[in-house]
């Protein structure tokens, strides 16, 4: 029985993916969540606490015994209204949740991955200025500065713009992490497929739960039957929850496989495409530096 471990599977398009995974056949799905999960076996996970991430990984070990992991899907994430929040580990919250916690989980569970396993991390096209998403695009992927924006001389004075940068930069970190992972000898020798998945703009999910009420309301309205279809017709990056969930599940099941040399998948008009990510995301030196710096932050051997 294939085993899949997933975060971000309790709501939004992640729940759609989780349902599809469970109903695809003989699959065991383990979902890390702060509460219950509608599909799969739920284990407690708080991505804002690195000790909780370590505890989740230990619980996965206990639950699975000797069974390997056939797919690791790291889908959870969020955007905030400012960069003032800090986790109990002292890191800016968006960076810690969207990147650092998943990096730790990846490093902790990587030894359990089966030969030919799929590793899928959810990113965002907003990491690339060419996408034209309207959010403040990343200036860098410096882990030390992202972990503490007060030390970054380029941090925006406007809280909302600073928060946008924290989000898009964290998603750049995801693409870079997959790039660094894909060049590792053990990943290559064991024929694993690592993919950074951009679902496009998917309204009506829990991504905006920490934003002000008016923005949350607009987020919901744009997912509705009145505005949703014309927005998707006008913009190729807009997708439904169902389309994003199906694409994520198919990547996890390896029904959709990356072409040789590609690690970035972008859902456009409901179809998985394989474009180049941003120029910064393709920089191998930046990817290696982020990998090493993140390892020091979470206390793992590089």
- Within the chain, where are the H helices? 12-22, 50-64, 93-95, 101-109, 143-147, 159-182, 185-189, 213-221, 228-234, 241-252, 284-298
Q: Identify the band that residue 257 occupies on the pLDDT scale cut at 50, 70 and 90.
A: very high
What average pLDDT does the segment 252-280 reach?
96
What average pLDDT does the segment 9-27 reach?
94
The count of structural domains within the chain is 1
How far apart are the C-alpha atoms of 127 and 125, rounded to whole Å? 5
pLDDT digits (tens, 9 = 90+) for 101-129: 999 999 999 999 999 999 999 999 999 99
What's the pLDDT score for residue 188? Answer: 87
Task: Take residue 135 and report the two structure tokens written for it.
Answer: 């959010």
Segment among 9-13, 197-201, 217-221, 235-239 with least mean pLDDT: 217-221
Q: Name the residue among 72, 76, 58, 101 with its Cα closest to residue 14.
A: 76
How far apart are the C-alpha atoms of 105 and 278, rounded to whole Å? 25
Can you give the CATH number for the domain in which 270 is found?
3.40.50.720
pLDDT digits (tens, 9 = 90+) for 224-256: 454 555 555 555 677 899 999 999 999 999 999
What residue numbers bound the domain in which 171 lies? 3-298
pLDDT digits (tens, 9 = 90+) for 65-107: 999 999 999 999 999 999 999 999 999 999 999 999 999 999 9
């Amino acid at each position: 029985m294939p085993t899949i471990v997933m975060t971000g599977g309790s709501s939004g398009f992640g729940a759609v993916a989780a349902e599809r995974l469970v109903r695809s056949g003989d699959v065991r799905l383990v979902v890390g969540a702060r509460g219950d999960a509608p599909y799969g076996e739920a284990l407690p996970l708080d991505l804002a606490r690195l000790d909780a991430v370590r505890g989740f990984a230990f619980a996965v070990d206990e639950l699975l015994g000797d069974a390997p992991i056939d797919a690791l899907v790291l889908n959870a994430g969020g955007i905030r209204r400012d960069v003032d929040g800090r986790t109990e580990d002292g890191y800016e919250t968006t960076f810690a949740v969207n990147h650092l916690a998943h990096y730790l989980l990846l490093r902790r569970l990587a030894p359990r991955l089966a030969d030919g396993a799929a590793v899928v991390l959810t990113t965002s096209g907003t990491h690339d200025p060419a996408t034209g998403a309207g959010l403040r695009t990343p200036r860098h992927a410096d882990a030390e500065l992202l972990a503490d924006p007060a030390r970054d001389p380029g941090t925006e004075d406007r809280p909302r713009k600073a928060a946008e940068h924290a989000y898009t930069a964290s998603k750049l970190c995801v693409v870079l992490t997959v790039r660094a992972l894909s060049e590792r000898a053990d990943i290559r020798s064991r024929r694993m497929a690592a993919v950074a998945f951009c679902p496009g703009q998917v309204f009506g999910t829990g991504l905006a739960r920490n934003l002000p009420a008016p923005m949350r309301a607009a987020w919901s309205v744009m997912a509705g039957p009145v505005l949703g279809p014309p927005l998707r017709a006008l913009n190729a990056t807009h997708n439904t929850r169902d389309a994003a969930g199906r694409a994520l599940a198919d990547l996890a099941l390896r029904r959709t496989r990356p072409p040789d040399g590609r690690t970035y998948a972008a859902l456009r008009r409901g179809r998985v495409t394989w474009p180049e990510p941003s120029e910064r995301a393709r920089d191998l030196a930046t990817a290696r530096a982020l990998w090493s710096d993140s390892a020091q932050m979470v206390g793992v051997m590089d």
